[in-house]
Structure 1
Amino acid sequence: MPAGKYTLDLTHASIVWKVSHFGLSNYVARFTDFDAIIEFNPNNIEKSKVTASINPMSVQTAYPNAEEKDFDNILATDKGWFNAKAFPRIEFQSTSINMLTDDTAKMSGNLVFLGVSKAVELDVTINGAMPSQPFSRKPTMGFSASTVIKRSDWGLDKYLPHIGDDVEVMIEGEFSKGPDD
C-alpha cells in the first residue's frame, strides 16, 4: 500500500459500545458522527499515526421511544453523561503501534473524554488492503479495533455500580487514500 494520508469512509465505519445494565444485560449504543485519519508508513507500519474525533451529540441508543423522551439528547448533553455542550469532541491520538503478527497489532494512544486525557490500548485487526478498491479505484484498507475502558477514569461515574464501569468499545473502519495524498 502506498504511503500517505488515508481518510475514513464513514459509509463503511462504526463505533459501537456496550456497558452492563445492573449485571442483567449489556446496553448497546453507537456514535454516528466521527472521523479518523491514518498517516500510513508502509516501510515501518509501527511509525504510522492515527487520529480520531467523535461528536458525542451523535450518540444513538435503542431506547424505546427515544425521540419522544429525547433520551439520546439527554445522554449527549447531561452533565452526568457525555456533557457535549461543555466537551463537544471526544478525541484520540495514537502514540505507538506494536505489530504482533502480519494482521494484528496493539495500538496505544491518548483518549481525551470529558476534558480528561488518559492512555488507552486497542486491539487492532487488519482486515485487508487493496491497492485499488473495485468501486472507488483508490488504495483502501480496513480495520477492526476494540478496547475496554473504565468510564470512571474520565469522571463519568453516574449510576455506578448499577450501570457498569467497564465499557467495551468496538470500531470498524475502511480508509482510502485520496489522489493527492
Structure 2
Amino acid sequence: MRKHLLALGSAALMLTAAAQAQSEMTPPADMPAGEYVLDKSHASLTWKVSHFGLSNYTARFTRFDATLDFDPANPANSALKVTVDPTSVETDYPNADAKDFDKELAESERWFNAGEFPEISFASTGIEMKGETTGIVTGDLTFMGVTKPVSLDISFNGAFEERPFSGLATLGFSATGSVTRSEWGMSGLVPNIGDDVDLLIEVEFYQPEG
C-alpha cells in the first residue's frame, strides 16, 4: 500500500509540474530573436507511401539537422534550413541479416542513390502566417540533384524563454507536407509504390547559450 501511495504521489507531482510548465509557456513575440538549432533528442522525420493501395508503408530518417533564424516581431521573416542524410533511412523491414532493406533503399539507383546524392536539403523561401499558431513554409527541396519548390503546413506548438530542465530558449513545431517523388527522378515501381510521399515532422529548436 505504501509503494502504491508513493507511486500515486509521484504521478501527481509529475502531472502538476507538466500543467505548470504548460501555463508558463512564453508568447512567441516575447521569445529571443536569432538563430535556433535543432534539438535532435526531440525531433523526428517520418514519411509514408502507398504500397499497392493496401497500406501506407512508413519509414524515417534518423540523421538530419536544421537551423531556424527566428524573428519574433515578424515570424514571416524567419528562415529555415534543413539537411538530411539519406543513408540514415530506417524501416521496420524484418530479417535484416538476410536482406538489408534499409541499405538497399539508401544505395540503390532506383531509390535514394546516396552514393551519388549524399544529401537532401531544404531552404525556406517564404513563410505565410495563416493564424496565430499556423502557417505555410515554402522552400526549395534539393533531392537527387533536382531542386523544386515544396510547401509545408506548420503548426507552432509552444515556446519557453527558459525551457524546464534545460533553461534554454526553445520553440516547438509540427509540420506536414507531400512530395511527388517522380518529379525529383525517383520513379521506381510507380504506381504500385505510390508516387506521392507524405511527410510528418516533429521538431524542437533551442537557442544555444552564449
TM tier, smaller: over 0.9
2:95 to 65, 71, 75: 65
The AA in structure 2 aligned to 1:87 is F
Distance 1:68 1:161, change over 3 A: same
TM (norm. structure 1) is 0.98
Aligned: 1:117 with 2:150: no
Distance 1:51 1:13, change over 3 A: same
1:169 to 199, 204, 207: 199
Q: Distance in 2 between matches of 1:29 and 1:134?
A: 31
Partner secondary structure for residue 46 of structure 1: helix
Count of residue correspondences: 180
Q: Distance in 2 between matches of 1:179 and 1:12?
A: 18
Partner secondary structure for residue 98 of structure 2: helix
The AA in structure 2 aligned to 1:143 is F
Gaps of 5+ in 2: 1-30
Quote how far apart the aligned CAs of 1:66 are: 2.8
- Name 2:104's counterpart in structure 1: 74
Aligned: 1:158 with 2:188: yes
Show the 5 A alignment for 1:36-115: 36-115=66-145
Which structure ranks higher in relative contact order (CA pairs < 8 Å, sequence separation ≥ 6)? 1
Q: Distance in 2 between matches of 1:123 and 1:175?
A: 17
Q: Distance in 1 between matches of 2:97 and 2:206?
A: 34
Partner secondary structure for residue 69 of structure 1: coil
- Name 2:178's counterpart in structure 1: 148
The AA in structure 1 aligned to 2:129 is M
- Name 2:169's counterpart in structure 1: 139
The AA in structure 1 aligned to 2:209 is P
| Backbone CA RMSD of aligned residues | 0.7
Provide, for residues 47-90 of structure 1, a one-character-per-residue CA deviation record: whole Å limited to 9, x for no partner.
10000000000000011113431110010000110000100000
Q: Distance in 2 between matches of 1:114 and 1:66?
A: 26
Determine which structure has more spread, i.e. the larger CA radius of gyration: 2
Aligned: 1:128 with 2:125: no
Q: Which has the higher strand share?
A: 1
Fraction of identical pairs, as percent: 52
Quote how far apart the aligned CAs of 1:161 are: 0.6
- Name 1:6's counterpart in structure 2: 36
Q: Distance in 1 between matches of 2:201 and 2:79?
A: 17
Q: Distance in 2 between matches of 1:38 and 1:44?
A: 14
TM (norm. structure 2) is 0.85
What stretches of structure 1 move > 4 A for 4+ residues in a row? none
The AA in structure 1 aligned to 2:122 is F
